[in-house]
Amino acid sequence: MPKIAAESLDANRSLRENDLMQAALDLARDEGWSEVTLAAVSRKAGLSRTAVYSYFDSAADLIADVLLDELMEITQVLAATLDAPGSPLDRINAWLTAAVAYVADGRHALVRSAAEVPLPPVRRAEVTSWHRRVAEPLVGLLEFTGAEDPRATAAYIWALVEVAVRRMDAGASGASELAALRCAVAKLCASA
């Protein structure tokens, strides 16, 4: 029986689950999502394969949880930028800077590459839903500014970010895309 590494059974379970998710993320970064199997994850995390099944039903469920964790984290990071001091446009620019940094550091490529992973439909829907929520915190800030249609404006900003992401994936520099984003969003917000 494995030793308890935390002060309670619940804390130990959470610790082991985090270890498994980190092992899956490391495998995906190093070798690609196709190498994220329960056997490979169990070896990397130092747990038996049967123990892994007490945490995840399948590799697809594990991958979905890793993706959800990543999307929740970036959503929180981006939302925090909107709480910084400054004008609403300054705060939106901080959000854009953080979004571009996320793409530039390679984490977005990992999330994007997971689009090819066959996930159960329910899990794919969860991941898609969280992906859409990334821009949701912009709505509240845009409501505060008195934008006529905050949801539409947030959707337009998100669309501009997606264009910048595609351009960065094709080789454009993050700095040039950030400058273009800031200019376009400033014009968009001025007319909203």
Is residue 95 located within the same domain as residue 116? Answer: yes
Is residue 74 located within the same domain as residue 161? Answer: yes
CATH code, domain with 17: 1.10.10.60
pLDDT tens, residue by residue, 84-133: 899 999 999 999 999 999 988 888 888 888 888 899 999 999 999 988 88
pLDDT tens, residue by residue, 10-23: 776 788 899 999 99
Please state, in angstroms and rounded to a whole number, the distance separating the CA atoms of residues 174 and 89. 19
Is residue 130 located within the same domain as residue 39? Answer: no
Contact 99, 78 (CB under 8 A): yes
Average pLDDT over residues 23-29: 93
CATH code, domain with 154: 1.10.357.10
State the residue range of the domain holding 65. Answer: 59-191
Domain count, the chain: 2
Alpha helices of the chain — where are they, by DSSP H? 9-31, 38-45, 49-52, 59-81, 88-104, 107-113, 121-133, 136-145, 150-169, 174-191
Residue type, 124: R
Is residue 120 located within the same domain as residue 33? Answer: no
Q: Which of 56, 81, 100 is the last residue of a domain?
A: 56
Average pLDDT over residues 49-60: 90
Please state, in angstroms and rounded to a whole number, the distance separating the CA atoms of residues 161 and 116. 21
Contact 184, 161 (CB under 8 A): no
Give the DSSP H/E element, type plus range, for residue 160. helix 150-169
Is residue 88 located within the same domain as residue 181? Answer: yes
